[in-house]
């Protein structure tokens, strides 16, 4: 039913946003359709056994959504194996705004930064005992270790008021696969290429349900009407009608905290289904 997804970011200027994410953070531009849409591959997350990670979708600003740069209950985060001090030095040299001191905790070292339009996010360096599980670990004497990328991967993030309820919504109701849970501190669920991190509110995070300039976008591989009917039966209320377009069909809804999500059925998938009937 849900085959993939992205963190959709509403931006003030597509050219400037693409330039920021590609030249300053090093992400690969994978698609662009004029000033209507673009996608960036951030890379696979440490927290997946497959290839799930973060794709960022860029969308021009819309009067229907909060202004670019507004932080909300949906966001995204980056991962690195590079020492966080080195990351900070490189980003500062590239004129990326670092907005916090380095935070050191049991899960590594983390620093906050502002990306395009001043949107707040973070990058986390994994602790040394987690590095050997990657290709940056131990090597034979005659092998050169891999040189880590500035950003090695990432995840979309949803902030929830209750972890049990949040996990149930995204797994039982939406049908995403729960791949990891650490008590009430962190959980991950996968939708194809997308890794979704379910995270409780903390003093440093936006309130769950706060509308921001990032939405969670989920791609479906079945007819939209069928998917909407199934989710409605599971108690999910759509916040609008299915909107057809040249690129496919889209409908918006919210999780139980009010975090904004949309479903998207690509036009090519709709055409294949219609042709098979």
Enclosing domain of residue 109: 2-133+148-276
- Whether 141 is in a domain gets the answer no
How many domains does the chain divide into?
1
Which CATH number characterizes residue 271's domain? 3.10.180.10
Find residue 104's DSSP bridge partners. 109
Confidence bin at 138 (pLDDT 50/70/90): very low
- Whether 268 is in a domain gets the answer yes
- Whether 30 is in a domain gets the answer yes
- Whether 170 is in a domain gets the answer yes
CA distances from 101 to 76, 94, 98, 112, 245 (A): 19, 18, 8, 8, 45
- Whether 35 is in a domain gets the answer yes
pLDDT of residue 130: 73
- Whether 138 is in a domain gets the answer no
Tell me what the pLDDT averaged over the chain comes to: 90
Phi and psi for 88 in degrees, rounded to 5? -60, -40
Q: What is the pLDDT of residues 181-225, one digit of tens each?
A: 999 999 999 999 999 999 999 888 999 999 999 999 999 999 999
The pTM of the full predicted model, rounded to 2 decimals, is 0.89
- Within 149-197, residue ranges assigned H as helices are 163-168
Q: What is the pLDDT of residues 143-189, one digit of tens each?
A: 555 567 899 999 999 999 999 999 999 999 999 999 999 999 999 99
pLDDT of residue 154: 97
- Whether 139 is in a domain gets the answer no
CA distances from 78 to 116, 140, 143, 191 (A): 14, 29, 28, 18
């Amino acid at each position: 039913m849900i085959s993939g997804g992205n963190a959709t970011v509403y931006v003030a200027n597509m050219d400037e946003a693409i330039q920021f994410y590609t030249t300053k953070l090093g992400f690969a531009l994978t698609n662009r359709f004029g000033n209507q849409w673009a996608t960036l591959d951030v890379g696979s997350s440490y927290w997946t056994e497959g290839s799930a990670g973060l794709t960022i979708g860029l969308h021009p600003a819309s009067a229907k959504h909060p202004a670019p740069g507004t932080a909300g209950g949906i966001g995204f985060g980056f991962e690195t194996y590079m020492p966080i001090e080195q990351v900070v030095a490189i980003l500062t040299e590239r004129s990326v705004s670092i907005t916090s001191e380095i935070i050191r905790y049991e899960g590594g070292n983390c620093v906050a930064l502002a990306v395009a339009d001043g949107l707040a996010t973070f990058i986390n360096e994994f602790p040394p005992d987690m590095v050997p599980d990657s290709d940056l670990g131990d090597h034979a004497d005659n092998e050169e270790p891999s040189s880590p990328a500035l950003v090695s991967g990432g995840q979309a993030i949803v902030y929830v008021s209750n972890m049990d309820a949040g996990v149930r919504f995204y797994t039982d109701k939406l049908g995403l696969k729960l791949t990891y849970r650490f008590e009430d501190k962190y959980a991950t669920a996968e939708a194809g290429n997308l890794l979704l991190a379910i995270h409780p509110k903390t003093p440093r995070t936006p309130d769950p349900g706060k509308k921001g300039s990032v939405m969670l976008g989920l791609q479906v591989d079945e007819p939209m009407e069928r998917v909407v009917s199934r989710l409605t039966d599971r108690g999910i209320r759509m916040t609008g009608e299915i909107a057809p377009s040249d690129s496919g069909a889209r409908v918006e809804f919210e999780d139980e905290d009010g975090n904004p999500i949309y479903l998207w059925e690509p036009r090519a998938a709709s055409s294949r289904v219609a042709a098979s009937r």
